[in-house]
Amino acid sequence: MTSSAVDTQEIFKQGIFKGKILLCSGGGTGICRDMTESIVRHGAKAVIVSRKIDKLQKAAEEMSKSAGGEVFAVQADVRKPEDVERAVAEAIKKFGRIDFLINGAAGNFLAPFEKLSYNAIKTVIEIDLLGTINLTKAVLPYLKASKGSIINVSMTLQYRGVPLQSHAGAAKAGIDALTRHWATEFGPSGIRVNGIAPGPIAATEGMKRLLSKQATPRTIPLQRFGELGDVSQSGVFLFSEAANYITGLTVVVDGGHWLTTSSS
């Protein structure tokens, strides 16, 4: 058994993100909430964006307290350009700048391709892939001004291909491609673009929805399911100056899971 996730406060200096503003889609729950909280603990302020304002508001209040910083909730559906433009305008009105963008909003479910309706496929591709595109397009002018950094949240199931995930895998493969395209295109403006591909992370919606109840960590080389902190510490690293010369990379945070496990 390998050791578990670490407290980034013990590895990175406090206050490394002081003065920085993070905008995170999907930041009200799961992996993206934990990443937001970790980045705020290191001194940033954050705007979290998702569809359900009640849940989002509660998450923002809880995180502001637990991380000792300022987290602001803005309702938006990343599929709608007008929502995204408004959310970014509200973030700028509140904090005046954006330094970090996490594209984390996602929708997913297990379903055989032949049973997926046209609308089901469109829905997942619109939330994951188009949502990433829409938000990045709206935030880009501000990232150019701050010489900021992007993290696109992906997954690993598209690497080998697994049944019941063609809709999400297509979207996530597109996101991995955007990470590389944008790294080349935005690099000269001083913007770094990386991805994080989490594997089976305990206590997440993805794990609940996608991993079978019989799944065991025995097939994972590092012999344990991941924890939220495992992903967050990678996020802190990628936004930090320790990653200054890293762009276009999707960091797989899965304990080696995809190398040895062919399906969920």
User: How near is the Cβ of 247 to ligand HXC at its closest, in Å?
Assistant: 23
Instruction: Single out the catalytic residue among 172, 232, 240, 264.
Output: 172
Nearer Cβ to ligand HXC (119/216): 119
Nearer Cβ to ligand HXC (106/191): 106
The long-range contacts involving 9-15, CB below 8 angstroms and separated by at least 24 positions, are 9/41, 9/42, 11/233, 12/42, 12/236, 12/237, 12/240, 12/242, 14/42, 14/43, 15/42, 15/43
* Residue at shortest CB range from ligand HXC: 107
x/- string (CB under 6 A) for ligand HXC, residues 153-192? --x------------x------------------------
User: Smallest Cα–Cα separation from 135: which of 39, 36, 47?
Assistant: 47
Nearer Cβ to ligand HXC (27/206): 206
Alpha helices (runs of H) in the chain, residue ranges in sequence order: 30-41, 53-67, 81-95, 118-125, 131-146, 157-160, 166-186, 205-210, 228-239, 257-260
- 117 part of the active site: no
Task: Determine if 206 is a binding residue for ligand HXC (CB under 6 A).
Answer: yes
**Cβ of 4: how many Cβ atoms within 10 Å?**
10
Query: How big is the site for ligand HXC, counted in residues (CB under 6 A)?
Result: 20
User: How near is the Cβ of 236 to ligand HXC at its closest, in Å?
Assistant: 20
Task: Determine if 76 is a binding residue for ligand HXC (CB under 6 A).
Answer: no
- Cα distance between residue 43 and residue 41, in whole Å: 5
What is each CA distance from 30 to 147, 148, 201, in whole angstroms? 28, 24, 9
Task: Determine if 106 is a binding residue for ligand HXC (CB under 6 A).
Answer: yes
User: Smallest Cα–Cα separation from 139: which of 198, 74, 197?
Assistant: 74
- 172 part of the active site: yes
Q: Which of 55, 58, 147, 209 forms a contact with ligand HXC (CB under 6 A)?
A: 209
**Cβ of 43: how many Cβ atoms within 10 Å?**
17
Task: Determine if 123 is a binding residue for ligand HXC (CB under 6 A).
Answer: yes
- Given the rule CB under 6 A, which residues bind ligand HXC? 106-109, 111, 116-117, 119-120, 123-124, 127, 155, 168, 199-200, 205-206, 209-210
